[in-house]
């Protein structure tokens, strides 16, 4: 189902009036929904700059159990409220079956994160939902395993899958992960599904987000997902890789050029 062989043209995933798989799209927002004030500030900025999709995690799969775990349903309510106000499409991560039900109800797009790409039982549940799925690559998944995970979702009955390269684990420690742009170009050959790139988790460093965003589009990525925060130094998660609003505005200008 995911293979390029059996499909003529690139798939285009339609969400409201937005098409993913045509011209490059931008998803932006904080790593985690923290408060209504924070989300209001970021959402109004996206609206003013014509960025169509707002991200924000409510169920956060943090490396440490002592780190902020997300506002859960309360976070999804905030995401829904601000996105309605500013007419934005939303995406948030589901981490298990119960959060899946909630994310599907409150959000347009369901994100499956790197840690769950290999959770085949969860992938099979996605067939029961009509929301498009943003499937992130497992941090140690081969390209074939990544595409097979997409196949699980499609075989279960949900054909609206958008892939996301978010960096893989290598011996390098200077960056949080190693952006695998080989994979983006290869995946354009191997599948008709759209693929976007997440340079925030891919690099872990805000200074590298702009150059890797440009590179992502240059190799054929059909969009980027960027972590943006109104006050990155106070962010409850991933502040070091989050762009402030003026750096994000600069990224938008540079990408346009």
Q: Which residues bind ligand PEP (CB under 6 A)?
A: 31, 57, 61, 93, 113-114, 136, 166, 201
- The angle that helices 36-48 and 245-256 make with each other, rounded to 10 degrees, is 20
Token reading at 137 = 């690559």
Close Cβ partners of 106 (under 8 Å, ≥ 6 residues apart): 73, 76, 77, 79, 80, 90, 92
Q: Specify the stretch interacting with Mn ion by CB under 5 A; choose among 1-9, 127-135, 213-221, 235-243.
A: 235-243
**Which of 188/201 has CB closer to ligand PEP?**
201
The distance of closest approach from Cβ of residue 201 to ligand PEP in the complex, given in angstroms and rounded to an integer, is: 4
The distance of closest approach from Cβ of residue 44 to ligand PEP in the complex, given in angstroms and rounded to an integer, is: 21
For residue 206, how many C-alpha atoms fall within 13 Å in the half-sphere facing its CB?
Answer: 19
* Helix intervals (H) in the chain: 36-48, 73-86, 97-106, 120-125, 143-155, 181-190, 199-203, 206-218, 245-256
- The option from Mn ion, ligand PEP, none interacting with 56 (CB < 5 to 8 A, set by class) reads none
Specify which residues 85 forms β-bridges with: none
The distance of closest approach from Cβ of residue 8 to ligand PEP in the complex, given in angstroms and rounded to an integer, is: 31
- The option from ligand PEP, Mn ion, none interacting with 229 (CB < 5 to 8 A, set by class) reads none
DSSP 15-46: ETTEEETSS-EEEEE-SB---HHHHHHHHHHH
Query: Is residue 93 a contact point for Mn ion (CB under 5 A)?
Result: no
The distance of closest approach from Cβ of residue 140 to Mn ion in the complex, given in angstroms and rounded to an integer, is: 18
For the window 3-42, what string marks contact with Mn ion as x by the rule CB under 5 A? ----------------------------x-----------
**Which of 15/32 has CB closer to ligand PEP?**
32
Token reading at 152 = 């699980």
**Which of 108/238 has CB closer to Mn ion?**
238
The distance of closest approach from Cβ of residue 5 to ligand PEP in the complex, given in angstroms and rounded to an integer, is: 28
Q: What is the dihedral of CA 155, 195, 168, 95, to 10 degrees?
A: -50
DSSP 217-243: HHTT-SEEEEEB-SSGGG-SS-GGG-B
- The option from ligand PEP, Mn ion, none interacting with 204 (CB < 5 to 8 A, set by class) reads none
- The option from Mn ion, ligand PEP, none interacting with 88 (CB < 5 to 8 A, set by class) reads none
The distance of closest approach from Cβ of residue 53 to ligand PEP in the complex, given in angstroms and rounded to an integer, is: 13
Query: Is residue 238 a contact point for Mn ion (CB under 5 A)?
Result: yes
Token reading at 173 = 């420690």
Which residues make up the interface to Mn ion (CB under 5 A)?
Answer: 31, 238
């Amino acid at each position: 189902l995911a293979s390029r062989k059996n499909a003529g043209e690139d798939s285009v995933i339609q969400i409201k009036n937005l098409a993913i798989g045509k011209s490059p799209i931008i998803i932006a927002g904080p790593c985690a929904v923290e408060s209504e004030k924070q989300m209001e500030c970021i959402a109004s900025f996206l609206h003013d700059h014509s960025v169509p999709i707002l991200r924000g995690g409510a169920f956060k799969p943090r490396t440490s159990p002592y780190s902020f775990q997300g506002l859960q349903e309360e976070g999804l309510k905030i995401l829904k409220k601000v996105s309605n106000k500013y007419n934005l499409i939303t995406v948030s991560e589901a981490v298990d079956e119960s959060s899946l039900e909630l994310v599907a109800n409150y959000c347009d797009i369901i994100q499956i994160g790197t840690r769950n790409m290999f959770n085949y039982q969860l992938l099979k549940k996605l067939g029961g939902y009509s929301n498009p799925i943003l499937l992130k690559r497992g941090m140690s998944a081969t390209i074939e395993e990544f595409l097979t995970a997409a196949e699980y979702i499609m075989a279960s009955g949900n054909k609206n899958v958008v892939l996301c390269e978010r960096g893989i684990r290598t011996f390098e420690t200077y960056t949080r992960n190693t952006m695998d742009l080989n994979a983006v170009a290869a995946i354009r050959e191997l599948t008709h599904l759209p693929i976007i790139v997440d340079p925030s988790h891919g690099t872990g460093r805000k200074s590298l987000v702009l150059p890797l965003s440009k590179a992502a589009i240059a190799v054929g990525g059909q969009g980027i997902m960027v972590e943006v925060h109104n006050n990155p130094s106070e962010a409850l998660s991933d502040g070091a890789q989050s762009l402030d609003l003026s750096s994000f505005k600069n990224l938008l200008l540079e990408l346009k050029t």
